Amino acid sequence: MEGDEDRIAESSARLVGRSNHSIVDGGSVGESRWVDGSEVDSESPPWSLLDENDRRHGYGSMRRRLVKKPNRVNPFDVEAMEIAGARHHHSKDLSVWQTLAMAFQTLGVVYGDLGTSPLYVFTDVFSKVPIESEVDILGALSLVIYTISLIPLAKYVFVVLKANDNGEGGTFALSSLICRYAKVNMLPNRQPADENISSFKLKLPTPELERALKIKETLEKRSSLKTLLLLLVLTGTSMVIGDGILTPAMSVMSAVSGLQGEISGFGTNAVVVVSIIILVGLFSIQQFGTGKVGFLFAPVLGLWFVSLGSIGIYNLVKHDISVIKALNPAYIYFFFKKNSGAAWSALGGCVLCITGAEAMFADLGHFSVEPIQIAFTCVVFPCLLLAYMGQASYLMKYPDSASRIFYDSVPESLFWPVFVIATLAAMIASQAMISATFSCVKQAMSLGCFPRLKIVHTSRKLMGQIYIPVINYFLMIMCIVVVSIFRRTTDIANAYGIAEVGVMIVSTTLVTLVMLLIWQTNFFLALCFPLVFGSVELVYLSAVLSKIKEGGWLPLVFATFFLCVMYTWNYGSVLKYQSEVREKISMDFMLELGSTLGTVRVPGIGLLYNELVQGIPSIFGQFLLSLPAIHSTIVFVCIKYVPVPVVPQEERFLFRRVCPKDYHIFQCVARYGYKDVRKVDHHVFEQLLVESLEKFLRREAQDLAMESNLNEHFDDSVSERSRDSGAAGGDGTEELRVPLMHDHRLEDPGTSIPEDTSSALPASVMSSDEDPGLEYELSALREAMDSGFTYLLAHGDVRAKKNSIFFKKLVINYFYAFLRNNCRAGAANMSVPHMNIMQVAMTYMV
């Protein structure tokens, strides 16, 4: 039976003349195995040392025989390597004008939050430190200048933007990048075939990577470090969602508050009411998407930055140009020396000048590194410095205007135009943060860290524009609550700073790990990154944490809530997956049932959705017991998300045969990246799946025919060589240690072996379409397709075992169960038609 299983498992094995795997004699009559290229002796002679007769026939590379029993390779891996080898990537560089145009577009998407910070920074700083002398103004200005120079400019523009995941940025992008280099994902569904995805880009270990390998081994061996890394990523994500609540409230209230001094009787209550009306309108239009008005964002923000710079220059020239003395960092020392504890408290307001800096990295997927760098260094950075210098210059002459410094510093004739632009800029900044929150939640769902929710795609062309109704209304309600409770921007600022600094500290930690693990940066330079930037961020964190009683508790509550939700969902999902792996059906049981599976086989294709990447899921046994008949063709479909942004369509499906041919049972892994969108009609998905399955069957038949033909020539060649070597008096064992199918072209992962390498083979081998077995199987597949598809789903219930600890029972039986019962059902989440669904109940004991 074991020999039969080996042959069954290898019935879908494919000739890898285009990969680094080979066919060798397994030591038994008529048996052949696939051997991983890593087992090839490194001392083997190269291809060029084979004699002319071997190379002419194309079989000389098969003269090596391994002494130890070789390992078999999963057919998934073989198929993936062929696909990846056949794919060519050419990076298309943007022209200068295209880069500049994209840099202009970043103003409306990336820099809205950072650009609206002059509305409230000095107002909050001088609410903590009253202006008594020029030291207060120059010290605060110097703090702002060097904070912007150090964090957004030095850290993000020159370092963090380079730590992108194939052009994607953000906390989850850093996490997926680390997960590709080290197996730290809590869900153990990684396959070797995933490494052949064209966007995976793994480095091979070399002696120079000793430190990186040690870090990798440490992360992979210690489950506590994996959990810590997961918690760090989830904390950063929770902080981003918290930003999605606080940014609209802060930006809109800051813009509306400008009416207080301009319209008599327009007090705090009026500011709150108008802000709530704007917020309700802002969240109500989310369902229509931003595509129709997106083209207005960049011009409005461009006009806003021009206004900031122009007003700043005007105030510098008119009032007091001597504030440029703040470029001397000594004023920071004088500021702290004079104000001591109050200056420390003022840091909580100063940190608001870099709110939105994380968006430079998080929104990288919409653009590229160069446009974001150009926009910041050439437009955003100088305009912000001019704006803050102009406000400081105005305060040197009118120190009593600190409470509404931005609008007081605007010339009277320009107040209403600037107010309109400021309100639009605040709404755009809020819109960008809301969209970023949607994207962040979607990525968390893709990586198994967030309950399934309904996602609406608001654009036919730009699939990244999404709308999540539940999250949208949650953000709207929370924004209204925040505005109603706090009522003043200075109080909201205390909460705002904690969320911003928290995300930055998470990014600093993850980028440091990327430096050590992936970049292999010099240890001293890698250590300087957290020492310099991390120290500054910790100083700011200590300042904002001192304001917990004054509103700083709010983002901590939000972060804790979302952290608990995401960790509970991930914890339950991992336990459920482990339970499925333990309870999967054995091959012996399937062979005992026979090709009829102990029931009646009726025409049709049954798509059984499960989470196993390999093996027969236990839910299949439930269907066999519950249904009077089963479909003639069964495909176990696993929707799997891999830690890459996007999986190309041609690399989406991987197939393998699960049982003997007459069973007609296959396993399909449909791979998606965390930025991929599964917005596809089920008819399209069915058609793609069947087409991929037909290609798999044709390649399988062709490869088995080639294997059979090659084995015949191999046996003849070995017999002839044995006679020759016997006459020479040697055993010939060492002579057979030649790398199979070795070719220098294989060293380039982007190069595939030309099709004419098999031209030396008989034509009969290549005409796999004439195989009667293949024609019968294809006709059976077409007949099953004509009969229709049925989606076989499990309505699963997850329960903790009776002997589990109390905390595990509480989390699984109540919290995780509540999330599963109230999140989106599997049928809706997988976009399958309700009329073609069969479900059976299944309880997983974890």
What's the mean pLDDT in 224-232?
A: 87
What pLDDT does residue 150 have? 93
The structure tokens 């291809």 sit at 47
- pLDDT grade for 625, boundaries at 50, 70 and 90: confident
Q: How far apart are CA 706 and CA 766, in angstroms?
A: 7
**Number of H-type helices and E-type strands within the chain:** 32, 10
Confidence check: pLDDT of 344 > 60: yes
Confidence check: pLDDT of 589 > 70: yes
Q: Which of 79-83, 314-318, 465-469, 485-489 has the highest mean pLDDT?
A: 314-318
What value does the mean pLDDT of the chain take? Answer: 75
What pLDDT does residue 649 have? 79
The Cα diameter of the chain in Å comes to 112
- pLDDT grade for 753, boundaries at 50, 70 and 90: very low
What pLDDT does residue 392 have? 94
Return the CA Rg of the chain.
32
Confidence check: pLDDT of 514 > 80: yes
Closest alpha carbon to 679 in 506, 479, 467, 433: 467
More confident residue, 678 or 207: 678
Confidence check: pLDDT of 712 > 70: no
The token pair at 568 is 């509970």
Q: How far apart are CA 404 and CA 418, in angstroms?
A: 14
608 strand-pairing partners: 636, 792
What pLDDT does residue 719 have? 53
Confidence check: pLDDT of 742 > 90: no
Closest alpha carbon to 577 in 610, 542, 606, 538: 610
Please state at what angle helix 171-181 crosses helix 223-256, rounded to 10 degrees: 160
The answer to whether 254 and 483 are in contact (CB under 8 A) is no
Other CB atoms within 10 Å distance of the CB of residue 562:
21
The structure tokens 């004023």 sit at 331
The token pair at 130 is 């009253």
Closest alpha carbon to 161 in 110, 200, 198: 110
What pLDDT does residue 63 have? 33
- pLDDT grade for 828, boundaries at 50, 70 and 90: low
Q: Alpha-carbon dihedral of residues 120, 122, 123, 129, nearest 10 degrees?
A: 150
The token pair at 96 is 């200068």
What pLDDT does residue 457 have? 72
Please list, residue by residue across 303-321, b when 16 or more beta carbons sit within 10 angstroms of its beta carbon and e when fewer do: ebbebbbbbbbbbbeebbe
What pLDDT does residue 381 have? 94
Q: How far apart are CA 559 and CA 189, in angstroms?
A: 28
What's the mean pLDDT in 643-672?
A: 84
Other CB atoms within 10 Å distance of the CB of residue 200:
17
What pLDDT does residue 295 have? 59
Confidence check: pLDDT of 190 > 80: no
The answer to whether 479 and 279 are in contact (CB under 8 A) is yes
Q: Which of 80-89, 302-311, 366-375, 482-491 has the highest mean pLDDT?
A: 302-311
What pLDDT does residue 93 have? 60
Q: How far apart are CA 539 and CA 350, in angstroms?
A: 12
SS3 sequence, 500-541?
A: HHHHHHHHHHHHHHHHHHHHCCCHHHHHHHHHHHHHHHHHHH
What pLDDT does residue 41 have? 33
Spatial neighbors of 815 by CB under 8 A, at least 6 apart, are 564, 568
For residue 640, the SS3 value is strand
SS3 of the chain: helix, strand, coil, percent, to 5 = 65, 10, 25
Least confident of 229-243, 570-584, 636-650, 734-748: 734-748
Tens digit of each residue's pLDDT (9 = 90 or more) over 84-120: 443 433 344 667 888 888 888 888 778 888 888 998 8
Confidence check: pLDDT of 382 > 90: yes
Least confident of 65-79, 322-336, 368-382, 571-585: 65-79
Strand duo 665-672 + 600-610: pairing:
unpaired
Confidence check: pLDDT of 183 > 90: no
What pLDDT does residue 196 have? 58
What's the mean pLDDT in 507-531?
A: 86
- pLDDT grade for 503, boundaries at 50, 70 and 90: confident
Give the single-character DSSP code of 800: -
What pLDDT does residue 725 have? 45
Tens digit of each residue's pLDDT (9 = 90 or more) over 162-175: 887 777 777 877 88
- Among positive and negative, which fits the CA dihedral 423, 425, 431, 436? negative
- pLDDT grade for 745, boundaries at 50, 70 and 90: very low
Long-range pairs for 293-298 at CB < 8 Å and ≥24 separation? 294/108, 296/108, 297/107, 297/108, 297/109, 297/112, 297/428, 297/431, 298/104, 298/105, 298/106, 298/107, 298/108, 298/109
More confident residue, 267 or 534: 534
Tens digit of each residue's pLDDT (9 = 90 or more) over 284-329: 877 776 554 555 678 888 999 999 999 999 999 999 899 999 999 9
Confidence check: pLDDT of 76 > 70: no
Closest alpha carbon to 689 in 585, 829, 832: 832
What pLDDT does residue 68 have? 34
The amino acid sitting at 485 is I
What pLDDT does residue 367 have? 75
Closest alpha carbon to 750 in 78, 21, 88: 88
Query: Which uninterrupted H or E stretch holds 795?
Result: strand 789-799
More confident residue, 454 or 209: 454
For the chain, percent of residues with pLDDT exceeding 90: 15
Q: How far apart are CA 816 and CA 828, in angstroms?
A: 19
Confidence check: pLDDT of 428 > 80: yes
Other CB atoms within 10 Å distance of the CB of residue 841:
11
More confident residue, 548 or 629: 629
602 strand-pairing partners: 631
Confidence check: pLDDT of 212 > 90: no
